[in-house]
Amino acid sequence: MWPALQNDTFLRACLRQSTTHTPIWLMRQAGRYLPEYKATREKAGNSFMGLATNPQYATDVTLQPLDRYPLDAAILFSDILTVPDAMGLGLSFGAGEGPRFARPVRDEAAVAALQSPDLNKLRYVFDAVTSIRKALNGRVPLIGFSGSPWTLASYMVEGAGSDDYRLIKTMLYSRPDLMHRILAVNAQAVTAYLNAQIDAGAQAVMIFDSWGGVLADGAFQRFSLDYTRQVVAGLTREKDGARVPVIVFTKGGGPWLQDIAACGADVVGLDWTVNLGAARAAVGSKVALQGNLDPSVLFAPPEAIAREGVAVLDSFGRPQRADGGWDGHIFNLGHGISQYTPPDHVAALCEAVHAHSRLQRAAA
């Protein structure tokens, strides 16, 4: 049904299988740092959701970075807030502002009314997945994604981005029953949403727990990771005879690496505060690791970018272990790429990662 995959390096690294080089992709690789992205966005009325809700535009921008750089994976162009929007919370993006919900979930009545959304309202996402998978024509695998139950909840309660998470943390500590009810609905919704993306053609899925790191130790485990684990347990893990890897990324999750690595995911995403070598020693025999270059390195000249990229690869070390087995590393940034990144700098990074990771494997 789908064209054969020509580059399965990313999927193999996710599953801790042998690879000829370390695969690389970048969070938010289809984005504002690319002039061609801005041009497509202009066509879509200069609207983020205008891009995301139109499968053809979403396909176009998803493929743009692949035409520039030898990236080893594509990721669906969409937003993590599509699910709460489909729940009826009224998502909008003000000019120059972040996302905002017209109807945030802050009281007992709003929590009681909350339901997992009708997936038909998210049809544009699944249509985009299928359209992108077709357009990729087997070049690289396609990653689908969702926000984690906690991260979605933080927007749903705060109504927008927040500096201090005062509203949701007040609910968490004052009315944990309401918090758990929201998270249970979100876990159910995210599970169905990701499974529908897998049905539509996603070959791996990633759960972004972008705001897990704002929680206290203990609260993170109860209010974020427990629900991420529920999602992972409910996912379709095999499709068309292939394993569908699951990546869990918690920004600021370094202190909880052991817990996160035990949540059932195949891959744990790491931000740049984590020492990759230490992380591999701690959990590398259970999960593959994804990350973790500071996106700000891409503001530096190409030589510095190559040096820092190599340092990340060397921190992980040769993926093949002394016993002949393989640990998995997927090169990525520790967070989304900045809109201020010079596009040429990304090319320098891809080249350095591919070249040095081949050398690592050759120096056996």
Binding residues (CB under 8 A) for its own copies: these are: 164-166, 169-170, 172-174, 213, 215-220, 252, 254-256, 272-276, 292-294, 296-297, 299-301, 304, 308, 311, 315, 334, 338, 340
- Distance in Å, CB of 307 to its own copies, minimum: 9
Nearer to its own copies, 162 or 320 (CB): 162
| Nearest residue (CB) to its own copies, 124 versus 165 | 165
Kindly state the tokens that stand for 271.
């931000």
Q: How far is the CB of 235 from its own copies (least distance, A)?
A: 27
**CA dist list (Å): 139 to 19, 69, 267:** 17, 12, 22
Q: Which residues are catalytic?
A: 28, 32, 41, 79, 155
User: Shortest distance, CB of residue 349 to its own copies, whole angstroms?
Assistant: 12
Residue closer to its own copies by CB (options 63, 257) is 257
Closest distance between its own copies and the C-beta of residue 295, in Å?
8
Is the CB of 90 or the CB of 98 nearer to its own copies?
Answer: 98
Spatial distance between the Cα atoms of 249 and 289, rounded to a whole number of angstroms: 10
**Identity of the residue, 142 or 171, whose beta carbon is nearer to its own copies in the bound complex:** 171
Q: Which is nearer to its own copies, 234 or 302 (CB)?
A: 302
What is the 3 state secondary structure string of the chain?
CCCCCCCCHHHHHHCCCCCCCCCECCCCCCCCCCHHHHHHHHHCCCCHHHHHCCHHHHHHHHHHHHHHCCCCCEECCCCCCHHHHHHHHCEEECCCCCEEECCCCCCHHHHHHCCCCCHHHHHHHHHHHHHHHHHHCCCCCEEEEEECHHHHHHHHHHCECCCCCHHHHHHHHHCHHHHHHHHHHHHHHHHHHHHHHHHHCCCEEEEEECCHHHCCCCHHHHHHHHHHHHHHHCCCCEECCEECCEEEEECCCHHHHHHHHCCCCCEEECCCCCCHHHHHHHHCCCCEEEEEECHHHHHCCHHHHHHHHHHHHHHHCCCECCCCCECCEEEEECCCCCCCCCHHHHHHHHHHHHHHHHHHHHCC
Rounding to the nearest 10 degrees, give the CA dihedral for residues 224, 49, 126, 332. Answer: -60
* Nearer Cβ to its own copies (124/299): 299
Nearest Cα neighbor of 25 from 286, 350, 244 is: 350
**Residue 164 C-beta: closest distance to its own copies, Å:** 6
Q: How far is the CB of 154 from its own copies (least distance, A)?
A: 12
Nearest distance from residue 299's CB to its own copies, in Å?
Answer: 4
